[in-house]
Structure 1
């Protein structure tokens, strides 16, 4: 059963003939102070921090100047406020900043940036949220370009683990200077910290919008995932000759049937088996067993239920020889099934770096 709201728990008093509503004697500031005080007393979460600073100050001063309100006045003010709420059909965000926030993700980044610049609208709510969420690799060049004092404030605002990671990536002398500067941050004002956060967030966003969500290595890797192994090997050989570093990035982005033992956790194999039709799985594992991918087939078979594994082995024997093209298409379907599970968050692939460290 729904609990009544604080406003609904007050029963209106019996009307008194010839007695004007007491709320009429109050101005809007006093009424607002009464409503806020009532809601706070009822345990409601009133996000007053969303109000402009001027209004927060006015409301606080008004509450500080008031002493006592009788029950009749309280009920009259609450009833009037509830009536205004019920009569309200639609609200719009206040000002250009509110409008841009409401339309975030629905208008192009270029248009949003232009409108913010023209209106002089602050782009970031809490800029430190964006700084804390940024990749450490993006923060390293920024912290090296900033003054030691600014770097110390940034380090202090990051989570301990991320701050330690960032510090470990700095040259030794820079890390020592920044660490010492942290001891000098006691006198830094909240306003200064906010301005520093705005500057850092602006630097993180001071880059042209990109047309692609993924980097070039991931895009090439995704394409090569769906090609034949012969074409994939040929392309990678060509990339090695042109740009060996990029070719290595592409190899890390590629996930093929051969990568399954190194990048799929044994506990995730049953999910993969359920995702792929059993006839496809039989062809894929049969083709793998007949070629140099026998260890991949064994990895999958050993980590599914014994009963199902025995049934699949029998079907592989009955199936006999599998054409190479048919086997490769089946293996690709298994890989696509793994990719779907990864995209939906049902499984997490082991990154190549993690697999190398385990070795």
Structure 2
């Protein structure tokens, strides 16, 4: 009877717990699951997701039991209304079509409807370090280098370019900007480099890849000093192209053009330490934009932290700003925010 009359545990007060981003919440959840279960979840993530979550896991320190409980409860609430439909859909579709049409007839149809069916070799590169990818393509034809760089995520592509010679970087980024479709012959060369075969029918396909916007996205992730040198070199070769790339680039200062709701969404994903470093290198207008999209108390704390923060290296500020821009672009790609301003088409 005593147990039945015992008072229920008091709900956790979230206000007294440190704010965590979604990535940090995922890291906490995975760490609480154990190695085997966490490994099964990581198998279903892409390379960038694994890298982000893995980094967050390695940085976890002194996580309170209450924080784990909050993260777990929020996760259960989020998935409570979901079903298992869609999980393993690729395998189901492949088996269904093969059974209905036969292996030969189904092969070409499967490649058309399952994204990535003819890019296995390129997808493998996304799991590699930028330096390793650069080593693989270092002595290949610049057009092949451009195709590889165009296919990679912009931040990884920037890392690959940074590991190539200066003259090669310029040639490759110019070719990326000029790319629209890749002919079968170029894809076949790429197959030879990767020592893999694209599945069914790739010899008759062309793929849309590259373009000026892609070049601008890659340039966004270059170190500022390298980016500046490359932009000058591009303008020397083709002034109009340089201006077009420059217009499409989205830099930290362009966050002023993001609407208030977008800024609030972005701030939920950014840790305080990174935000403080990034704002050390921004002007008052952008700072005020950030402050007004926070609670009064949070804004006051941020102001105090900025004033208390001593001098920091320019490289640290640039790294923090690029980290925030990476999150902003991912949110924009997911349709959660609209970047607006440079690089964003308004309909």
TM-score by length of 1: 0.40
TM-score by length of 2: 0.41
Higher Rg of the two aligned structures: 1
For CA contacts below 8 A with separation 6 or more, give which structure has more relative contact order: 2
